[in-house]
Amino acid sequence: MKKLIRITVLGFYSFTVVALLVILVKTGFSYYTTPIENRFFHDMHVSLKPSGFLGHGYGIVGTLFIILGVSLYMLRKRYRIFSRVGLLKYWLEFHIFLCTIGPILILFHTAFKFGGIVSISFWSMVAVFISGVLGRFIYNQIPRSIQGNEFTFEELQTQNLALSNQLKNKYQINDSLLNKIEKLVEVDSYKSISIPVLLPIIVKDFFLKRRLLKELKKNLTRHNIGNKEQKNILRLSSNKIVLVRRIGLLSVMQKVFNYWHIVHLPFALVMLIIMVIHVAITIVFGYRWIF
């Protein structure tokens, strides 16, 4: 049931982002594709320009979403008092959701016209968004418990041994098949990997994993193993391959994640500081929305 709820929530997030993008494009396509010097004469200029009713609203709501997404996630992550309020990974997903919608709205707030100091904030926001997507991938490569805490090397090795025992004892996988899996996913084969070759190794392993599982499925069919057991064996084998790769890459991924913070946080700070200045100047010069 929990898995179904999570899939539903993630589906809602994805649908909302796509639906919002479609609505925004459909609403202003004619205006946004008009050359900037001719937009003043467009029927929707009053509404969609950055200071217009819709344009201004996009900026305000987008800014609120970003601030809310960052603030809630930071509170949940940094302060122990909130540690029991939902799992950290769910808060991260909500953070990503809000910080995806926010930049989309701000992009349409600008009416695709960038200039001055605000452009620094905008491109910083783009850098934060792109690095956030990359950070999510790196985060997923570091094994964690259901509470979001990182596993130790010893805990991961225990999980790996349990998977091997389950494949061998419960499903009677013969030693030759098990050895093929073990040979592909030896932890020691990852220990000398450096950061520059990390991505090619992950891509290479993706195709090696598919090839091995395909070969394993043929062997299982040849030994007359039923479809249900085949699915369980392939699932466990896939989990084992992914787990061992993550064990081997644990230290290098932790380093990459630390470097990621060094890049992600400054861009986020620049974006927020200039955003606050922009909002303050807008208020000082008397630009109002519905209040």
- Residue 144 counted as domain residue: no
Residue 120 burial (10 A CB sphere; 0-12, 13-18, 19+): middle
Q: Is residue 161 part of a domain?
A: yes
- Is 47 a domain residue? no
What would the pLDDT profile of 73-104 be if each residue is shown by its tens digit? 888 877 777 777 777 778 888 988 998 898 89
Alpha-carbon span 87 to 76, nearest angstrom:
9
In angstroms, the CA 92 to CA 79 distance is 15
Residue 193 belongs to what domain range?
153-253
Q: What is the pLDDT of residue 82?
A: 76
54 Cβ contact partners less than 8 Å away, ≥ 6 residues apart:
27, 28, 47, 48
Place of tokens 């974006």: 271
Whether 178 maps to a domain, the answer reads yes
Residue 27 lies inside a defined structural domain of this protein: no
Residues 6+ apart with CB under 8 A from 181: 167, 212, 216, 237, 240, 241
237 domain-assigned: yes
pLDDT in the model for residue 194: 65
pLDDT averaged over 10-residue windows placed end to end, the chain, 291 residues: 79 94 93 90 90 91 90 83 78 88 90 76 79 75 56 67 72 66 60 67 75 76 72 76 72 74 78 81 75 60
pLDDT at position 183 is: 63
> What pLDDT is recorded for position 195?
65
265 contact partners, CB below 8 Å, separation of at least 6: none
The answer as to whether 200 is a domain residue is yes
Say if 31 falls within a structural domain. Answer: no
Query: Domain count of the chain?
Result: 1
pLDDT, position 231: 79
pLDDT, residue 14, reads 92
Q: Are 95 and 70 in contact (CB under 8 A)?
A: yes
The pLDDT tens digits of the residues spanning 215-260 come to 777 777 776 667 777 777 777 777 777 777 777 666 677 777 777 7
The DSSP symbol for 80 reads: G
Q: Determine the Cα angle at 39 with ends 36 and 44, to 5°.
A: 140
